[in-house]
Structure 1
Amino acid sequence: MSDKPTSMNADGIFEPFSSEDVPVEEWSQGTRFGSKYQYLSGYGGSTNVGIQLEELSPGMESSLNHYHMLEEEQAFVLQGEMTLKLGDKKYIMKAGHHVCFPAGQKAGHSFYNHSDAPCRFLMIGEKNPNEVVIYTENQRVGVRLLGEGYARSSQMEYWEDVEINKPS
């Protein structure tokens, strides 16, 4: 069992909870990327579906542009507005707007808060332990099962660097 707080009662049952009970976590990378978030589904005991209440500050980006090979993601804007980068296009998303990123849709996505106020939104997605994520900005391939990332330029043919005429 995790050391993080959850909505589990003494009988091992996950009970309803207020989002105010969920710890706020924060991350950043340099001055370009970062957000605050509450991992609602983890607090409630979910192991297959992830739901995160995220707040993106003005001028910040949510992540590198990326797409998922196995997982579907969705976002629903609750408050404020932000720019969705989707492939080569940009869309303004405001409170009440929703977007789906189907698994395997080869168009990178990320969010940028272009406004002067925080933007709050829900991120909903699967939690596939075998997920592969393609980062379109730097051509990184993330392999969740291995906990590793690789450059797409490191591709090799199946039989490359193998002696195919040598007996075993």
Structure 2
Amino acid sequence: MEPVNEADLSWTETEHGETAFRRKKLAAAATEEGDDPDLGCSLYELPPGKRSWPYHYHTGNAEAFYVLAGRGLLRTEDGEHDLQPDDYVACPTGAAGAHRVVNDGDEPLRYLALSTMREPDVTVYPDSGKVGVYAGSPPGGEDERDVSGYYDRDATVDYWADEE
């Protein structure tokens, strides 16, 4: 177990419409190959006017955020809450933990995102009516997944439909 310095890691970038952020997977960099981490941690940076992942909650993983710099909003089930440096918020599993981070300020919003790393997990997106399904590696995990995809929440198929 050796320390990992954030400055030694490269940013990955995600951009899709109003969603745009940079991310460094700190926990993944600190985990030795073959280990299964119990805790995830990433450094996020949201540019002004941008948002993190779409509004969602996890059925199997809790998340928490610690604001390092900048200002923004946290959208939750019960409304919007101001975020500022040194704020910490914990998002439990289930609908009560639904969240989205928004940078409504004039400078980058930097925060640590921590999560349990359990699999399987289902991520529910109330605004779009979709779900994400992950098995074999949790959301944010580095291992290959047995099952992974996004689906309409109300989509169903008959269990016996393809059998003769």
TM bin, normalised by shorter chain, reads 0.7 to 0.9
SS at match of 2:82: strand
- Alignment gaps of 5+ in structure 2: 136-146
Provide TM-score, normalisation by structure 2.
Answer: 0.82
1:23 Cα deviation after fit: 1.5
Paired residue for 1:132? 122
1:73 Cα deviation after fit: 0.2
Tell whether the 8 Å contact from 2:129 to 2:152 is kept in structure 1 after alignment. yes
1:17 Cα deviation after fit: 2.7
Q: Distance in 2 between matches of 1:149 and 1:19?
A: 31
Paired residue for 1:112? 102
Moved over 3 A (4+): 160-163
Q: Distance in 1 between matches of 2:72 and 2:46?
A: 8
Q: 1:152 to 1:19 in 2, by over 3 A?
A: same
Give the 5 Å matches for 1:1-168.
14-30=1-17, 32-45=18-31, 47-145=37-135, 146-155=147-156, 162=160
Alpha-carbon displacement from aligned partner over 1:3-49 (angstroms, at most 9, x marks no partner): xxxxxxxxxxx41132111221111113x111011111111016221
Tell whether the 8 Å contact from 2:60 to 2:119 is kept in structure 1 after alignment. no
Q: Distance in 1 between matches of 2:76 and 2:12?
A: 26
Q: Distance in 1 between matches of 2:82 and 2:134?
A: 30
Alpha-carbon displacement from aligned partner over 1:75-125 (angstroms, at most 9, x marks no partner): 000111111000250001100111111112445210110001001100000
1:63 Cα deviation after fit: 1.0
Paired residue for 1:7? none
Number of residue equivalences? 147
Paired residue for 2:139? none
Q: Aligned partner of 1:142: which letter?
A: G
Paired residue for 2:142? none
Q: Which has the larger radius of gyration?
A: 1
SS at match of 2:154: helix
- Alignment gaps of 5+ in structure 1: 1-13
Q: Distance in 2 between matches of 1:108 and 1:136?
A: 9
Tell whether the 8 Å contact from 2:4 to 2:26 is kept in structure 1 after alignment. no
